[in-house]
A and B are shown apart, each in its own frame.
Chain A
Amino acid sequence: MDKQSLTHPTLGFGLGLRTQHFEHVLRHQPEVDWFEILSENFMVAGGKPRYYLSEIAERYPLVMHGVSLSIGSTDPLNMDYLKALKQLANEVQPQWISDHICWTSIHGINSHDLLPLPYTEETVKHVAERIGIVQDFLGRRILMENVSSYLSYQDSTMNEWQFVNAVAEEADCLLLLDINNIYVSARNHQFPPEDYLLQVAPNRVQQFHLAGHSDYGDYVIDTHDHDVCPSVWELYRRALTRFGGVSTMIERDANIPEFDALEAELAIARNIARTTLGESHPLVYRPRQETVV
């Protein structure tokens, strides 16, 4: 029997808020349901980014997505970073906060990359304990995202989805499932991506990420610089079938196109959701509030 869902109602379809689109978003107020911000980009005292953030926060729901929590590191948690994160959350009032199941720094040196962890009981315990500390500090459940990876360790005693489930269960956190990352890791580690989807516990999946990657034939790199590819769209359709109407967002971090091109990609996601879940599903049917004078 499925466990009771722990997730919040769906926000619909969102995009990553990027500097290049600040002015467009404010001026045209496009029909995007919500935006995801990269937390670290706004951990500055003021200036243009903070101005646009506060203006856009008045018009759209926002979620905060971080890359520097380094939850799996064996260094102590960076409390200065956590304080800055909490302060930003107090100002932005995000719907939720997320980061990655990975490590980024050791001995105080930051790789600025989402480095993979060995999938062991020791790591599950370590990561879950630290997520618990972060959740207590922030006063809310956070979302943890599966990362793309290019290598695995001799020490691993379980596969990635078993590890992700175990961390989420032991930490009592939510999950951000990156569909593209599942595809990339499946190609690099030669497992069927559907196996991953079918094994992740549905009651904790709060958000989906979609993105493009670079395909080098023998391996795939998660570059976020291309459109979402057909195989990832197909995997997204399967994810909707398994997990239902999960808030969906497209990430683009390089080779960033005009905003209209991202809206067109989001329309593809909406269409897949419509055909998979039906017109009346809360993810798909989102009436605009209108004021009648």
Chain B
Amino acid sequence: MSQLREIQQQFMDYLLASAAQTPVAETIEKSFSDKVAEQGGVGRDIRMQIYANAYRIRLTEVLDTDHEILGLYLGDDLFARMANGYIAHQPSRFTSLRQFADALPDYLASDAFFSQYPIISDIARFERRLLNSFDAKDERRASFAALQSLPADAWPYRQLRFHPSVQLFECASNAVETWQALKHQQVPPAPDYQGKRAWLLWRGESRLTEFISLAEYQLTLIQGFIHGANIAEQCELMLNFFAPEEAMQQLLQALQAWFQLGLILSVQPND
């Protein structure tokens, strides 16, 4: 191993061991310390500690910025516990800090302490979805006229392409209601795990990220279209929820709303 590689490996080992919040293993600290020059002014330990602190502070700031509302929900002590645990558990393998916290929801769902409160992982997952919508690719959206201009006999075999910012979020807690309360500086409701909930997120024409709740039939409908079902197939699916005369009307209303919200990129023939 080259001298340069050895130094880099020992430096990184030192940073990771320091971030693990356990006393830095003596051998790790000594291996790196032996490579550091003794200079006037401050000692080697302080010089090394500056880098260890910067590493932890920088990554904690990313979690704080990306998960502002989760931070409010947890409070300072639990947020620090989460940040320290995640930083120790999940070193960054990304060139951009934008992705650093991508695995935070999974960490919170599997950590022995945080997994006792599933709403915490749900709030983190919801905030990741918001960020994904925020950064998604820009593409020109279609209007309802694109569908209306088609001959009636072409409708059944048409599929929809959705805007890249469109995201679905499902959870078994009142995570989004809690997120909304905190966002508006209100006291959040008590955790509630009664029943599944679904939300649709997207970025509108004004480039603001928006979200609405979905009823079960709306979730089923949009999931089907996202997976490539055509209008005829989805109309049939609506028969599971509505009487025959109402099914088509409900589907049309949903389609019209989706175009208005800017969710649809194009209407295209079956694959």
A residues lining the B interface (CB < 8 Å): 40-41, 43-51, 68, 72-74, 78, 81, 84, 103, 106-113, 115, 117-118, 120, 122-123, 126, 150-156, 188-190, 218-219, 221
Contacts and interface: CB of A to CB of B under 8 A. Distances in A.
Nearest to B137: A45
A126 B7 CA distance: 14
Contacts of A218: 41-42, 46
Contact of B50 (A47, A51, A126, A150): A150
Interface in B44-74: 44, 46-48, 50-51, 54-55, 58-59
B37 A46 contact: no
A117 B3 CA distance: 11
Interface stretch (B94-102, B115-123, B182-190, B193-201): B94-102
Nearest to A104: B95
Contacts, number: 135
B135 A153 contact: no
A106 B12 contact: yes
A47 B206 CA distance: 10
18 contacts: A43-B96, A45-B137, A73-B8, A74-B2, A74-B5, A74-B8, A81-B95, A106-B8, A106-B12, A109-B93, A111-B12, A112-B55, A122-B4, A126-B4, A152-B37, A153-B35, A190-B39, A190-B40
A81 B98 CA distance: 14
A123 B3 CA distance: 9
B7 A47 contact: no
A50 B207 CA distance: 11
Interface string B126-165: 0000000011111100000000000000000000000011
Q: Which of B4, B11, B54, B58: most chain A CB closer than 10 A? A: B4
Contacts of B39: 152, 189-190
Given A45-B137, A113-B51, A126-B4, A156 B41 contact: no
B4 A40 contact: no
B50 A153 contact: no
Contact of A40 (B3, B95, B137): B95
B92 interface: yes
A238 B58 CA distance: 33
Interface in B1-17: 2-5, 7-9, 11-12, 15-16
B34 interface: yes
Nearest to B206: A48
Contacts of A40: 95-98
A74 B4 contact: yes
A155 B3 contact: yes
Nearest to A127: B4
Contacts of A150: 47, 50-51
B2 A122 contact: yes
Contacts of B3: 118, 120, 122, 155
B2 to A, nearest CB: 6
B92 A151 contact: no
Contacts of A46: 135-139, 164-165
Given A110-B92, A110-B95, A154-B35, A50 B138 contact: yes
